[in-house]
Amino acid sequence: MTKIWNETGFVTDDPWVIESEETKAGSNEKAILGLGDFLAKVSETDETGLGVLINPADDVRRLEGHLDRIALVAVAFPAFSDGRAFSHASLLRARLGFKGEVRAVGDVLIDQIPLMLRCGIDSFAVTNATALKRLAENRLPGIDNHYQPTARPSEDVGSYSWRRRA
């Protein structure tokens, strides 16, 4: 069972559905399209509020020029050892200036959520039982001090990551 979580807690009425051959969005749902399908759709319509799925091998820069039409970008973590979605999220926020929702989907583990938040991911499709339990208990792991820049501004204005952000 997949539950959507963000920093305010679990979301009960999330309308987003990742479309595939077997799964299509219903009448009260919104489709998250693969990158190819998304690019085809934006070339055919002026529709806004769209959702797009970025898989690890996709080039997230192909969204440039369409970001104002996107409400949600889902970045895929097919395995805990594949971290390319961290880079996708960081590029979306820091270089492309995307302000909409970035969602982690796939193998989302509790230990990675604080790092995902720092990269600009702000919602999570969670299926892992341990992660669901810890999120329900509001128990996120983490490290208080960070030395690298981030897509998300540091709350400690004197921190090193704050100084490196220009």
Q: Tens digits of per-residue pLDDT, 29-51? A: 999 999 999 999 999 999 999 99
Measured CA to CA, the distance from residue 125 to residue 74 in angstroms comes to 9
- Cα 98 from chain centroid? 11
User: Which CATH number covers residue 126?
Assistant: 3.40.50
End-to-end alpha carbon distance in the chain: 41
pLDDT band at 162 (very low <50, low <70, confident <90, very high): very low
Q: Name the 3-class secondary structure at 6.
A: strand
pLDDT band at 26 (very low <50, low <70, confident <90, very high): confident
* Structural domain span for residue 19: 3-164
Domain count, the chain: 1
Burial string for 94-127 (b: 16+ CB within 10 Å, else e) reads bebebebbbbbbbbbebebbebbbbbbbbbbbbe
Q: Tens digits of per-residue pLDDT, 44-96? A: 999 999 999 999 999 999 999 999 999 999 999 999 889 999 999 999 999 99
Measured CA to CA, the distance from residue 152 to residue 118 in angstroms comes to 5
